[in-house]
Amino acid sequence: MLCFGSIKNGTALSSEFPKTKVILDAGHGGIDGGVSGVNTGVKESELNLMIVKKLERYLVDAGFEVRLTRSTDAGLYGLATSNRKKKDMEKRRQIIEKFKPNLVVSVHLNRYSLSTRRGAQVFYNGESENGKILAEHVQQAFNGLEESTRSFSALSGDYYMLKCTKYPSIIAECGYLSNPEEEKLLLTEEYQGKIAYCIFKGIVGYVAQTTITE
């Protein structure tokens, strides 16, 4: 069991901080822009990467070892002209397997037919107890956002990124680009930072509760 002190200015203060390895996966990329903003048309893939890079900074400053599946706007399908999505997802799996992380966080944004739907929600592999614990910690942090209009529960999901490897994994759906108010927030550096910090706090809470092994 790991014992953490307080969190200050994005840094976990601990005398026993482990070399915890984290994969950050910015969803989509390249020709696959994901969903788009209802007013601005901003691509989900672009915002995912912005949030991931802010989260990376929090984690690195706190002593985590971090690897990004993608660090640019490009997709991971290389020069492929067919089956790009399949090859992109397989490359993400390969990166995870090679790095052998303690946990995986895949960052996404959502869209819904009703423009009133908003909020951040976390999904996990129902067969992974540690994945569930991680998801619940991140969800609790999301629900504590001052901009949050309702509380969500972390949910089990049947998604490739949750099940493609054995490592505890979550998908953080950080808001709805189909909601005009939330889209406006997500376009700001300040709110992106708040979202990233929530995920960071959730990761710290998870590591504090869970025995991390090499």
Q: Residue 153: which CATH number?
A: 3.40.630.40
Helix axes 189-209, 129-143, angle to 10 degrees: 140
Longest Cα–Cα distance in the chain: 50
Query: What is the predicted pLDDT for the residue at 13?
Result: 45
pLDDT score, position 79? 81
Q: Distance from CA of residue 10 to its chain's centroid?
A: 16
Give pLDDT tens digits for 90-113. 999 999 999 999 999 999 999 999
**Could you count the other beta carbons within 10 Å of the beta carbon of residue 45?**
25
Residues of the chain with pLDDT under 70: 1-18, 211-214
In a domain, 2, yes or no: no
> How many structural domains comprise the chain?
1
- Residue 1 is assigned to a structural domain of this protein: no
Domain hosting residue 11, numbered range: 7-209
156 occurs within a structural domain: yes
pLDDT at residue 3 in the model = 35
Asked, for residue 57, whether it belongs to a domain, the answer is yes
Domain membership flag for residue 183 = yes
Q: Look at residue 211 in the predicted model and tell me its pLDDT.
A: 67
Q: What is the pLDDT at residue 82?
A: 87
* H or E, element range at 124: strand 121-124
- pTM for the whole structure: 0.91
